[in-house]
């Protein structure tokens, strides 16, 4: 799908949108955020330049994981109070399904959103290194609990919220490389991701990883 950018865009060509129903699209030329409003896209402000990090990925890369071809079409980048960051790359598989490739300091995962919610009372008592029973009945270890400072986005985002006054992100792991992430928003709403940890070698990319010179 091609959508027009804001008229003031220095390169006001159509933006080639890959997702069928993205909630937000960031123009890579003018960094305006276009929000889907039911009738089309409207300009809802702009984002600053994505901070540099050591991720080997970038929007536009195409690859293969587990025999399934995919393309990276967007990214959310969480920056937490502890100075820790985590990328959630939006990956669109050839069959039209969407997952997230998480990437943080050389640790990778493939996760999908599922409609599962933990009781807020249990999240309020969560502590690092303790255990919690999750969606599949297994007792996962809580690896870390982080408070969000800022969220940066680029490309296409298939989620309806991109600004948070309060977000706590909990990361869980279990045997056989299973993992989960819960974003707990304002002590109420939750976004629940479940999936598995993966290795960089599990991906076959058409293009070489982002080179060191692009990192700084």
Least Å distance, CB 29 to Zn ion, is: 4
| Size of site (CB under 5 A) for Zn ion | 5
**Shortest separation between residue 41's beta carbon and Zn ion, angstroms:** 11
- Rule CB under 5 A: is residue 5 a binding residue for Zn ion? yes
Minimum CB distance to Zn ion smaller for 19 or for 27: 27
Choose, by CB under 5 A, the member of 3, 9, 47, 148 that binds Zn ion.
9
Site for Zn ion, residues 10 to 49, rule: CB under 5 A: 27, 29-30
Cβ distance to Zn ion smaller for residue 9 or 191? 9
- C-beta closer to Zn ion: residue 43 or 173: 43
> Least distance (Å) from Zn ion to the CB of residue 192?
33
- Which has the closest alpha carbon to 195: 99, 103, 67, 58? 99
Query: Which stretches does DSSP call E strand in the chain?
Result: 2-4, 14-16, 24-26, 32-36, 41-46, 62-65, 68-80, 85-93, 98-104, 107-113, 131-133, 139-157, 167-173, 178-185, 189-198, 203-205
Q: State in angstroms the smallest separation of the CB of 12 from Zn ion.
A: 6
* Binding range to Zn ion, per CB under 5 A, among 4-12, 45-53, 118-126, 152-160: 4-12
What gap in Å lies between CA 27 and CA 24, rounded to an integer? Answer: 10
Q: What is the smallest separation between the CB atom of 150 and Zn ion, expressed in angstroms? A: 22
Q: Which of 74-98 are b and which e, b meaning 16 or more Cβ less than 10 Å from the residue's Cβ?
A: bbbbbbbeeeebbbbbbbbeeeeeb
Q: How many CA atoms lie within 13 A of 88 on its CB side?
A: 26
For 152, the token pair is 């940066």
Q: Which is nearer to Zn ion, 153 or 167 (CB)?
A: 153
Q: How far apart are CA 123 and CA 128, in angstroms?
A: 11
142 binds Zn ion (CB under 5 A): no
Q: Report the greatest alpha carbon distance in the chain.
A: 52
Q: Strand, helix or coil at 147?
A: strand
Binding segment (CB under 5 A) for Zn ion, from list 7-15, 103-111, 156-164, 186-194: 7-15
- 72 token code pair: 């990276």
Q: Which is nearer to Zn ion, 3 or 178 (by Cβ)?
A: 3
Taking the complex as a whole, how short is the minimal distance between the CB of residue 26 and Zn ion, in angstroms?
9
149 is a contact residue toward Zn ion (CB under 5 A): no
Return residues touching Zn ion (CB under 5 A).
5, 9, 27, 29-30
């Amino acid at each position: 799908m091609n959508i027009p950018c804001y008229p003031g865009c220095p390169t006001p060509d159509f933006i080639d949108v890959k997702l069928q129903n993205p909630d937000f699209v960031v123009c890579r030329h003018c960094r305006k955020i276009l929000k889907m409003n039911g009738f089309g896209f409207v300009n809802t402000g702009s984002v600053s330049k994505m901070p540099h990090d050591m991720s080997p990925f970038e929007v536009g890369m195409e690859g293969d994981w587990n025999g399934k071809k995919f393309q990276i079409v967007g990214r959310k980048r969480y920056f937490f109070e502890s100075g820790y960051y985590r990328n959630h790359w939006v990956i669109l598989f050839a069959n039209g399904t969407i997952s997230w490739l998480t990437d943080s300091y050389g640790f990778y995962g493939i996760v999908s959103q599922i409609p599962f919610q933990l009781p807020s009372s249990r999240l309020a008592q969560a502590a690092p290194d303790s255990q919690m029973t999750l969606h599949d009945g297994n007792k996962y270890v809580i690896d870390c609990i982080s408070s969000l400072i800022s969220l940066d986005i680029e490309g296409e985002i298939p989620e309806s919220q991109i600004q948070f006054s309060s977000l706590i992100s909990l990361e869980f792991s279990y045997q056989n490389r299973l993992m989960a992430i819960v974003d707990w928003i304002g002590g109420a709403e939750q976004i629940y991701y479940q999936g598995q940890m993966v290795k960089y070698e599990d991906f076959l990319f058409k293009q070489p990883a982002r080179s060191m010179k692009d990192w700084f």
